[in-house]
Amino acid sequence: MASLDNLKPLSSLTLVDRVELRIKDYIKENRLTVGDAIPKEMEFAEALGVSRTVVREALLRLRAIGMVDSKKHRGMVLTQPDLIANLGKVLDSNMLSKDTLKEIFELRLILEMGMADFLFARITDTDFEALERIVAEEQTQNQDATVFAMELEVAFHGTLYGISKNETLYRFQDMLLPVFRYVHETMLPDLYPYDYSGDAFVSHADLLDLLKKGDPEKFRQGMRRHLEPHFERVLQTFDK
């Protein structure tokens, strides 16, 4: 364990905030990493000249965001914080402002538009099969092209994100999905029924085709048209 020497007593009145920051600094300065033990509550308290209660609160905060955990016989140990899980704790709360909700909706459209290059670089035969199954199922279900099969919609796009082989991206969009749905259903009334059977509309089957025979640029053009109903509504409803 690294020395406590470079932890100096806090000069002004202590707050849990300041102790939290000092502990984080301590971790950085000593280049501690995942698995390393950190000093005991009491040691921090003595080095910083604050009460154990204050240190305890600060450590609880770090624990709440998954930076430390207590292990038997080892005390507090640094853990790998989970970026996306931390985001989820807040997204889950249903307390985001309307602006943030709207921005998250847009963010998901942006991700969908931006990932084409990674799809083409990393798609596998298994991925193609998965997409084909979804498209086949859609075609048996939807005699009427205007029926919006939400489950298959989510499955198709979720599979696309998976093809990027970027776990952070996948979990991020997955976490944004409930917000996306919420905004879609409550904040963005259909301005008019969109013609899903029109010539301009790009279906999932068309996107799959582009993935097979096209390139990232053609795929982006197709995806943009596929997402047109969303873009149209978001730019009309939010920006007007």
Residues that bind a second copy (CB under 8 A): 24, 27-28, 33-34, 57, 60-61, 63-67, 78, 80-83, 86-87, 89-97, 99-100, 103-104, 106-107, 109-118, 121-122, 164, 166-169, 172, 216-217, 220-221, 224, 231, 235, 239
Q: What is the DSSP string of 206-239?
A: HHHHHHHHS-HHHHHHHHHHHTHHHHHHHHHHHH
Nearest to residue 152, comparing CAs of 122, 131, 170?
131
User: How far is residue 110's CA from residue 172's CA, in Å, rounded to a whole number?
Assistant: 13
Nearer to a second copy, 128 or 142 (CB): 128
Percent helix, percent strand, percent coil in the chain, to nearest 5: 65, 5, 30
Could you tell me how far CA 50 lies from the centroid of its own chain?
37
Nearer to a second copy, 204 or 220 (CB): 220
Could you tell me how far CA 228 lies from the centroid of its own chain?
23
Nearer to a second copy, 196 or 231 (CB): 231
The CB-of-90 to a second copy minimum distance in angstroms stands at: 4
User: How far is residue 37's CA from residue 181's CA, in Å, rounded to a whole number?
Assistant: 42
Phi-psi group of 49: left, alpha or beta (phi > 0 → left; psi -120 to 50 → alpha; rest → beta): left
Nearer to a second copy, 48 or 234 (CB): 234
The CB-of-183 to a second copy minimum distance in angstroms stands at: 12
The CB-of-31 to a second copy minimum distance in angstroms stands at: 9
Nearer to a second copy, 32 or 154 (CB): 32
The CB-of-231 to a second copy minimum distance in angstroms stands at: 6
The CB-of-153 to a second copy minimum distance in angstroms stands at: 19
